[in-house]
Structure 1
């Protein structure tokens, strides 16, 4: 067969969340508020847990890194998504798209691994970022090693793997296999570790003799468990269902949860309901000089 002539794609067009003109302004305002709350909440957690001497414990050490990851993940996706609501044609350069995918993979995999190592040792946090980086530099180049030579319209609000694979005009067996193996390994290892951790926590709570003590302990853990369940449930829904049953529109809506919504909720779920963090925030507002005293 004679080789076909084609023009290599140099940029992609992001369709965004909705193409309905009447929804662009309301959606822009909604996600602008979500992004601002995400940045403010996570920056607040990072600042308080870094500067307040009373929050220098292993728990807040992990929460600080979770906030760093949430802030990074939402910032890789959020600004470009907001631009899509105010421009007629939201384009992203080929290499910019590759960098965005790599950044997204780095932060999302780091969060998956961090949620599992939080139950054990804070020395493992370095391995969390290293593993996220390795995943990004392996999977992202694998996806962009394919040829994109026909349509350049990404049916999503950011450069995600599924819509990129759908655009390729070359054989996607190898990158699809790499993505599937990476996703299943990361998810099941991390989820298994988290479930074992929560199982031990529940056993410990059940050993509390006071019914009031058990109620308070379960109340404290319930919001954490809900956040973890939503995060893992969304990832499992997107990554582990058969490829032929994938709907890019459904995947796009689902991915909103772990790219925009969960990073906004995590500071409230994990920290802002905590009395120590509330007290630290009050001290920061009323006596900011307390945090910036010379050592």
Structure 2
């Protein structure tokens, strides 16, 4: 679990670094807010690469929780070091190939007229809006690729949690059920936040594009979700909760002493 959490932490540090610094600079600055054609393509590539990788990584983490809860005695054999490394590597490589294909399909389109992107960063829907001519085929390709890369991890997560819930319900003690569920509740919250906003953004026709709503949704999966993930996972950790209680108790003691 901690091996995959290290991967997720590094991924989300990189994910926010792709969009957030530029976004903040544009919001603060009143002067030049332009981005080059190459810079826009590069930003979109890394955004899709890291987003696609996170989809698969969350799916792998769901399988890891399934192995830990449903097959606890065989867990060290099922999730050995080699298999964990291979799963993480496949997640990263999948994101690389998916983002390269998606970015190439979009940026070979001709762009004419207004070059003003009505968004915080170079995302697929606002950039497609700037393309000239018929973009129907491109939209279909983008939709199919996004559907495959969202559906496969989501099905893996769904099946894993159905098996986990079935196993938990068969446990004789309430304490055992609570302990088993608490080990995967953090992951379940993260999955809901990430897949919920990502599905609305990418699995819909371009004709349903609404700039204001998309800007709000984009903040969820580029800023709010990565910010909440450390808090969600840390608060499930006994050592972190113990340290937090000690800090609060010390602050209360100092305040009462005054």
Tell me the TM-score normalised to structure 1 length: 0.71
Give 1:229's aligned residue: 192
CA distance in 2, matches of 1:163, 1:176: 12
| Matched residue, 1:263 | 226
Please list the CA deviations of residues 173-222 of structure 1 after superposition, one character each: whole Å capped at 9, or x if unmatched. 23212210111011111100001111121122112211122233334433
Correspondence for 2:49 among 103, 106, 130: 106
Deviates more, 1:195-204 or 1:237-246: 237-246
Residue correspondence of structure 1 range 1-295 to structure 2 within 5 A: 59-88=1-30, 89-118=32-61, 119-120=63-64, 121-122=83-84, 123-275=86-238
Structure 1 position 171, deviation (Å): 2.6
Aligned length: 223
Match of 1:7 in 2: none
Q: Secondary structure at the match of 1:201?
A: helix
SS at structure 1 position matched to 2:35: strand
Moved more, 60-69 or 205-214: 205-214
Per-residue deviation, 1:127: 0.8
Runs (4+) of structure 1 exceeding 3 A deviation are: 276-280
* Greater fraction of residues in helix: 2
User: How large is the RMSD of aligned CA atoms in angstroms?
Assistant: 2.0
Q: Offset of 1:62 from its aligned partner?
A: 0.4
Kept in 2: contact 1:115–1:190 (CA 8 A): yes
Is the 2:57–2:88 Cα contact (8 Å) retained in structure 1?
yes
Give the 3-state SS of the residue equivalent to 2:184 in structure 1: helix
Contact 1:114/1:128 (<8 A) preserved = yes
Contact kept, 8 Å, 2:143 with 2:204, in 1: the verdict is no
Task: Tell me the CA shift for residue 101 of structure 1.
Answer: 0.2
TM-score (norm 2): 0.81
Measured in 2, the distance between the counterparts of 1:233 and 1:240 equals 11
Q: CA separation in 2, counterparts of 1:197 and 1:219?
A: 15
CA distance in 2, matches of 1:239, 1:136: 13
8 A contact 2:186–2:236 mirrored in 1: no
Change in 2 beyond 3 A, CA 1:227/1:113: same
Contact 2:23–2:121 under 8 Å retained in 1? yes
CA offsets, 1:24-83, max 9 Å, x none?
Answer: xxxxxxxxxxxxxxxxxxxxxxxxxxxxxxxxxxx1000000111111111101000100
